[in-house]
């Protein structure tokens, strides 16, 4: 996608300047048509590693690869002209070293046109975030429930209750100090989410956090009712397209079996017979 086509999209510095202002609207996307639908309405479109579960039927995000992220990132980029695209760094692509993180982040941005990358982790990832930012890679941080760490977290549990609240607060301050332009707070208690939002100078993007965050994000297939394997408490269904789609497929199957489809309006007439020349 050309620079001209994306010149109206906000940049990370623009998102950071929204701290305390009008809430930032964000959704995930994995395909061109979905990106086209949300482009006029979202400030940020995230190519999330949730694609592994939502579109590929994987049990978690841990099996998502760089190749998958690049494939879907290119697709989403083709559907955007207004919103800023951020892309997730998949599990295993940034944890080993800052140098590894830079190499893979640069590849993701270079091959997809993303304006920034997102990576999971708080204090222990601060050095990597600083390394990337100093080298021209804008970073959206992600703390609280970090799905790539579910094996050590013990599942998809609320994070930040009790003594863990102070750890999460320090995580938020660490990623902000390291230069992240925003931070996702996932599945964190409302009060703590509000305290974090008031304590750092970068926007907080909530998912299962608080309406007091500087913005919100949801997985688009969740909010449209397309992903029905489970429904998290923090998801609001704005449509039930999964039910509508299944009903439409059932109607199609019934029409085919009853030979109601295709009808006369869906088929093509035979060619008109040629008129024989007079003998």
Distance (Å, rounded) from C-alpha 66 to C-alpha 181?
23
252-to-129, 152, 194, 258, 265 alpha-carbon distances in Å: 51, 45, 49, 10, 16
CA 23 to chain centre: 17
Structure tokens at 118: 């997102």
Cβ–Cβ under 8 Å, residues 88 and 49:
yes
Give residues with Cβ within 8 angstroms of 89, minimum separation 6. Answer: 69, 101, 104, 105, 108, 117, 118, 119
Task: Considering only the C-alpha atoms of the chain, give the largest distance between any 2 of them, rounded to a whole number of Å.
Answer: 102
Q: Which residues of 95-111 are buried (b: 16+ CB within 10 A; e: fewer)?
A: beebeebbebbeebbeb
| Catalytic site residue from 63, 111, 120, 186 | 186
Report d(CA 17, CA 20) in Å as an integer: 8
- CA angle 93/114/175 to nearest 5° reads 60
186 catalytically annotated: yes
Residue with tokens 């190749």: 67
Among 99, 106, 32, which residue's Cα sits nearest to residue 66? Answer: 106
Active-site positions read 186
């Amino acid at each position: 996608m050309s620079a001209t086509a994306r010149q109206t999209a906000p940049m990370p510095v623009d998102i950071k300047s929204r701290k305390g202002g009008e809430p930032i609207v964000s959704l995930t996307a994995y395909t061109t048509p979905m990106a086209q639908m949300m482009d006029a309405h979202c400030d940020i479109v995230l190519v999330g590693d949730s694609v592994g579960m939502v579109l590929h039927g994987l049990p978690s995000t841990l099996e998502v690869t760089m190749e998958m992220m690049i494939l879907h990132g290119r697709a989403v980029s083709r559907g955007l002209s207004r919103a800023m695209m951020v892309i997730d760094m998949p599990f295993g692509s940034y944890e080993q070293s800052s140098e590894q993180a830079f190499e893979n982040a640069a590849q993701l941005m270079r091959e997809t046109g993303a304006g920034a990358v997102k990576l999971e982790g708080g204090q222990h990832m601060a050095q990597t975030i600083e390394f990337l930012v100093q080298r021209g890679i804008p970073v959206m941080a992600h703390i609280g429930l970090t799905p790539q760490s579910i094996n050590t977290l013990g599942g998809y549990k609320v994070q930040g209750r009790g003594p863990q609240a102070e750890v999460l607060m320090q995580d938020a301050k660490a990623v902000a100090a390291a230069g992240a332009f925003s931070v996702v707070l996932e599945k964190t208690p409302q009060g703590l989410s509000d305290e974090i939002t008031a304590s750092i100078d970068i926007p907080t993007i909530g998912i299962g956090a608080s309406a007091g965050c500087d913005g919100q994000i949801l997985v688009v297939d969740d909010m449209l009712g397309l992903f029905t394997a489970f429904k998290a408490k923090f998801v609001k269904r704005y449509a039930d397209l999964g039910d509508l789609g299944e009903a439409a497929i059932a109607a199609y199957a019934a029409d085919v079996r009853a030979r109601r489809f295709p009808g006369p309006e869906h088929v093509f007439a035979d060619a008109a017979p040629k008129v024989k020349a007079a003998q």
